[in-house]
A = this chain, B = another copy of it.
Amino acid sequence: MKVLVLGGDGFCGWPTSLHLSDLGNEVTIIDNLSRRNIDIELEVDSLTPIRPIGERIRVWKEVSGREINFINLDLAHEYDRLVEILLAQRPDAVVHFAEQRAAPYSMRSAKTKRYTVDNNVSGTHNLLAAIVATGLDISVVHLGTMGVYGYGWSGSAPIPEGYLTVKVPTPDGDIEREILHPANAGSVYHMTKTLDQLMFKFYAQNDGLRITDLHQGIVWGTQTPQTERDARLINRFDYDGDYGTVLNRFLMQAAIGHPLTVHGTGGQTRAFIHIRDTARCIEIALANPPKSGDQVSVFNQVTETYRVRELAELISEMTGVEVANLPNPRREAAENDLNVSRDRFLALGLSPTTLSEGLLTEARDIAKKYADRADLSKIVARSVWRSGMETAADLMH
């Protein structure tokens, strides 16, 4: 299969590109290297020493014998070149990771809010408009997020895979209707993913585009069987307050002996998936596209749920580092349950890596091993979610 991976230099995009290449697919990475530029802007760096994309691709050729192409293109602002590439390559599928993906970064300032909306909305819409314009039959697999739903909306019912049947009261009695699960974005980043959903719905209905939207949980883990094959293929590990996930920040704090900082009660339940399983899910999604005329195919790309305090306790037990509680900067319920349907990927053969199995490897082989590369000042979130808000950073002085 010929696949374009948009955002193929990023945290999910790079290991997915290698995984798809390893399976024998013809992979072209399209990326404007924006994630590396944001590192420069934030004065942070991946804990793991990632190599330039050209070197990554050369090393992959050395170890696997397989060719990956790379095109430096800004999806949101180079529409005409995108059309040329689609017409020249005629790919079977496009995997779309090319969105600004950090909620805290999207809330830092008017500039980052506007960048996130422009990059994510224009990029996604350019892709959809370009596929229609070329007339090619290209399926799209997009990385969305569980976060489009907010939390606690559907009571004891599990969060469905995209669609929900509700009863609508009418003068003639209740009627049943299937709706997209209502959106409830908690950041500008999440908001852009709720906009993506409506663009996908329109282009699937109007133009018969074949679109899969993966509502992914928080990705953890760094290495995959492919990235482990050479030190120069290593994947990113972010631990800063913007791009570092709660789990990576805990691992990093533990590695340097800093208390594990839990915001609020730590009662927020979050959904997780290992990066190996992300790559495998993309493979499964590519092999099972919807037909033209079908509605957007939605999968929940999640393998486990944990409360934040349970995660902290898990890592605390593993490392002996204590837990510290801080105020929560986000507008969200202090405690929430999270019950997620995850039947579709399991039915298609996904066999997940669990946190209880994989966390020790992360602590030892990544966080501890590269701890001397860490910038200790970067491990607490500083984004101001709304005006006048106390930030966790304020309370650290």
Tell me the A residues contacting B by CB distance below 8 Å: 79, 83, 110, 113-114, 117-118, 121-122, 125-126, 129-130, 132-133, 135, 153-157, 164-172, 174-175, 177, 179-180, 182-183, 185-188, 191, 194-195, 198-199, 201-202, 205-208, 331, 385-387
For the complex, what is the distance from the CA of A155 to the CA of B172, rounded to whole Å?
Answer: 8
Q: Can you report 26 A-B residue pairs in the complex whose CB atoms are below 8 A from each other? A: A114-B122, A114-B126, A117-B122, A117-B125, A118-B122, A121-B121, A132-B387, A154-B175, A155-B175, A157-B171, A164-B168, A165-B169, A166-B166, A166-B167, A167-B169, A167-B174, A179-B179, A183-B198, A186-B206, A191-B198, A191-B199, A195-B195, A195-B198, A198-B198, A206-B331, A207-B387
For the complex, what is the distance from the CA of A153 to the CA of B156, rounded to whole Å?
Answer: 27
Instruction: Tell whether, in the assembled complex, residue B198 and residue A194 are in contact, meaning their CB atoms are under 8 Å apart.
Output: yes
Instruction: Tell whether, in the assembled complex, residue B191 and residue A170 are in contact, meaning their CB atoms are under 8 Å apart.
Output: no
Known: A117-B121, A207-B386. A167 touches B170 (CB 8 A): no
Closest chain B residue to A387, Cβ basis: B135
Closest chain B residue to A112, Cβ basis: B129
The number of times this chain is found in the oligomer is 2
For the complex, what is the distance from the CA of A104 to the CA of B315, rounded to whole Å?
Answer: 57
Closest chain B residue to A206, Cβ basis: B386
> For A129, A133, A168, A172, which residue has the most chain B Cβ atoms within 10 angstroms?
A168
Shortest distance between the CB of A236 and any CB in chain B (Å): 28
Shortest distance between the CB of A336 and any CB in chain B (Å): 15
| A202 proximity list for chain B (CB < 8 A) | 185, 188, 191
Instruction: Tell whether, in the assembled complex, residue A179 and residue B182 are in contact, meaning their CB atoms are under 8 Å apart.
Output: yes
